[in-house]
Structure 1
Amino acid sequence: MNDQLNIEGLRQLYWSSANAQALLDHCANRTKNQTETKVDRVLLLLSQEGHAVRREDLIEVFRKLEVLGYGNFKLGRKGRQTRFIWSFEMVSVGREAAAERPKEGPYRTPASEYLARHPVPSKTDKISNRETADEAAPERQHAEFIQWMPFVLDALREFGGSATPREVYEAVARLAKVPDEKRFAKLKGGELRFPNQVAWARQYLIWEGFLASPKRGLWMLTDAGRSTKLSYERARQIFQKWVAVHAERRAQAQETQPEASDDATTEAAPNSYKEEMLAQLHSLSPAAFERFCADFLKHVGLERVEVTGGPGDKGIDGEGFLPIGPIVTTKVAFQCKRYSEAVSSKEVQSFQGAIGAAEKGIFFTTGYFTDSSRDAARSPGCKPIELINGDRLVELLEEHEFGLRPAKTYEVDYSFLRNYTKGDCQ
């Protein structure tokens, strides 16, 4: 790599963008250099490594690399930006990017000097489960969800060993003292970033054998998880271990699988359908969202559901009756807010005061609730309000298959097939 290139600009890009870090760390950890990178292929690989990167955001990173002189786009048959052709070895570019944080003033470090200090690992190199944090390469340490892994185990222990995803999210936020601005920050697709990261933490804990998921919507500690007090350093080692395991599996798969075509689309990142469902709900008109919520309440068992929203609705959008036995029913009022921002405690209190003869209220929003609005919903002496934010609503839609259809997919079991390629199977 020419040391006159804008290495400072490369490092500025790396340290200023989580998406750039994800891509360049991926490049740095590859076991062989490639002259080109397929956009949809790398999206799939990044999602498997725990990064929720959108296609347009990844393309933006490649565009910035193009401006810096590290390569250029090649268009596919349909005019889409499908491939990035590297001007230099992509592993070297990735490792150079993560070499150090930007400093004041210009500086240049030849790639040969950096690579002498950080040799490219061979295919047989693995990150040991016993590797210490100091021994690990610094460019591998940027997965933010690592910090939540110990708290997930602690949260499940609080619940006696099992809990729903929503219960775990809330317990982790409380135990880790996550501020509202971080807890309710959103990804560009509209999904809340914090639950997404906690879900990735869960996935690595499942791979490590600390968690099980015996049925949809339930997280459970295994015996190993119950007895393990996880430190941050140990969590980071687990992350490193499984990144290496999946990298090796991908390398083995690439040796036996042809490359995808120019215009092949990538497998969706985990939970991408949730982002899309939330975006669709947010695109509804207020009246349509009220009808949607009313129909969902009918679907889950409420009777005589009516939408009363509109001018002069007196603070409620609808009401219905919930059977609580063969004879008794209870009146329920509901409110629907098609928001992208937070619902305030004042709005919750206003709804509490408007539900009249109803014994309980349900507040739907495509946005989210702050701690103060949740406190208001549970205020002593006030009628209880069930708060359903956007993420919780999509979970319920998935559970009851309302507006979401289950899809079954298959993948090749390479470890199973290796039983037939070993030894003298002729």
Structure 2
Amino acid sequence: MTVPDYQSLMLPVLRAVADGNEHRLADVRRLLAEHLGLTDEDLALRIRSGAPVFDNRVHWAVTYMVQAGLLRRTKRAVVELTERGREVLAEEPSSVDNVLLSRYPEFLEFKMRARERQQDVPTGAATTPAPHSTSSGTPREQLADAVEEANAAVAAELLNRIRDREPTFLEQLVLQLLTAMGYGGRAGAAEHLGRSGDQGLDGVIRQDALGLDRVYVQAKRYGADHPVGRPEIQAFVGALHGAQADRGVFITTSRFTDDARDYADRVPARLVLIDGLRLTALMVLHNVGVQDEQTFTIKRVDEDFFEPA
């Protein structure tokens, strides 16, 4: 038989993990292949990057349902059904697709992030595009939309991975990211300060060899339900003052309240606030915690080649 599209695989995936236990994705794929009656020839089909078509479609079915909150990634290549996923199965739907997933605000937010990334953070080399594009634009525009949706899915997974790690991991990660962005330069350095006596400062970027130009960093690993408010920004400004510094970057895996952003804009110190969405978008852009999977090249006619001699 033909390998089903990724939306057609959503309901079978949910049913395969319906017992509520953790399941390795490799086991899920094997069970689905047997249930669907896929042949060796079907499983041998490859996309242009070389990955199996079936594996790629299961991956995207899982990715979309994770974004909608029907599945949860518990560890690398392992998923389990959530309470929301159980509720969907209890409805006994004939299918699960993007229309059904769109009832959940988390999924709609994920779809919107892909569009926002095109405006806020330009991307470099493309990763494997999402399995569909809803754009009615040109092939070039549809490819760009698909790339941004794929990168948005990667960014969302990055955020979940970071929140699952210890706070020190985030503190060291942000220094690596700022270094990858060019801060510190050839003569500067990045130092992790997250220890006793650091006065609430988690790291410092020295922009010159003598350390006269310093940027201090604060990193807070919070869940989506714990926004950073004005008091925490005030405490950060106080720590900067104690270090005789006037530049700081406050990074959180959550978000900032409007009051916090307003306060940061009005204080004399130069503050940059980076929330979880911006953090992971920058990680994707600067290849921190991610790898390039596939690059697409679009050709055009060389008009000079056809010019008369």
Please give the TM-score of this superposition, normalised by the length of structure 1. 0.40
Q: Matched residues in 1 for 2:294 and 2:166: separation?
A: 32
Residue 408 of structure 1, aligned match among 278, 288, 294:
294
8 Å Cα contact 2:151/2:284 also seen in 1: no
Q: CA deviation at 1:54?
A: 4.0
Q: CA deviation at 1:351?
A: 0.6
Partner of 2:198: 313
Residue 268 of structure 2, aligned match among 360, 376, 382:
382
Q: CA deviation at 1:360?
A: 1.1
Q: Matched residues in 1 for 2:268 and 2:195: separation?
A: 25
Q: Which amino acid aligns with 2:157?
A: E
8 Å Cα contact 1:352/1:383 also seen in 2: yes
8 Å Cα contact 2:200/2:218 also seen in 1: yes
Q: Matched residues in 1 for 2:238 and 2:283: separation?
A: 28
Q: Which secondary structure state, in structure 1, belongs to the residue aligned with residue 191 of structure 2?
A: strand
Partner of 2:165: 284
Partner of 2:91: 65
Q: Which secondary structure state, in structure 2, belongs to the residue aligned with residue 358 of structure 1?
A: coil
8 Å Cα contact 2:202/2:218 also seen in 1: yes
Larger radius of gyration: 1
Residue 333 of structure 1, aligned match among 216, 219, 228:
216
Q: Matched residues in 1 for 2:101 and 2:236: separation?
A: 43
Q: Which amino acid aligns with 1:382?
A: P
Partner of 1:296: 177
Aligned length: 213
Gaps of 5+ in 2: 1-9, 12-34, 38-54, 72-80, 119-131, 297-309
Gaps of 5+ in 1: 1-21, 24-35, 71-89, 95-139, 146-184, 188-192, 220-267, 411-426
Structure 1 residues 320 and 215: alpha-carbon distance in aligned structure 2, compared to 1, 3 A threshold: farther
Deviations 1:240-261 (A, max 9, x none): xxxxxxxxxxxxxxxxxxxxxx
Partner of 2:230: 345
* Mapped pair 1:370 → 2:253: no
Q: Which amino acid aligns with 2:222?
A: Y
Structure 1 residues 363 and 214: alpha-carbon distance in aligned structure 2, compared to 1, 3 A threshold: farther
Structure 1 residues 194 and 367: alpha-carbon distance in aligned structure 2, compared to 1, 3 A threshold: same
Across the aligned residues of Structure 1 and Structure 2, the Cα RMSD in angstroms comes to 4.8
Deviations 1:143-190 (A, max 9, x none): 579xxxxxxxxxxxxxxxxxxxxxxxxxxxxxxxxxxxxxxx756xxx
8 Å Cα contact 1:344/1:369 also seen in 2: yes
Structure 1 residues 213 and 358: alpha-carbon distance in aligned structure 2, compared to 1, 3 A threshold: farther
Structure 1 residues 142 and 366: alpha-carbon distance in aligned structure 2, compared to 1, 3 A threshold: closer
Deviations 1:33-63 (A, max 9, x none): xxx999x979957989xx8464435852453
Q: CA deviation at 1:199?
A: 2.8
Deviations 1:177-214 (A, max 9, x none): xxxxxxxx756xxxxx63643536989784345x9599
8 Å Cα contact 2:133/2:142 also seen in 1: no
Q: Which secondary structure state, in structure 1, belongs to the residue aligned with residue 291 of structure 2?
A: coil
Residue 273 of structure 1, aligned match among 136, 154, 172:
154
Residue 114 of structure 2, aligned match among 191, 199, 211:
199
Q: Matched residues in 1 for 2:61 and 2:176: separation?
A: 39
Structure 1 residues 196 and 376: alpha-carbon distance in aligned structure 2, compared to 1, 3 A threshold: farther
Structure 1 residues 46 and 361: alpha-carbon distance in aligned structure 2, compared to 1, 3 A threshold: closer
Residue 207 of structure 2, aligned match among 301, 308, 322:
322
Residue 394 of structure 1, aligned match among 268, 280, 299:
280
- Structure with greater contact order relative to length (CA < 8 Å, sep ≥ 6): 2
Q: Matched residues in 2 for 1:43 and 1:404: separation?
A: 17
Q: Matched residues in 2 for 1:388 and 1:313: separation?
A: 21
Q: Which secondary structure state, in structure 1, belongs to the residue aligned with residue 213 of structure 2?
A: strand
Q: Matched residues in 1 for 2:63 and 2:288: separation?
A: 27
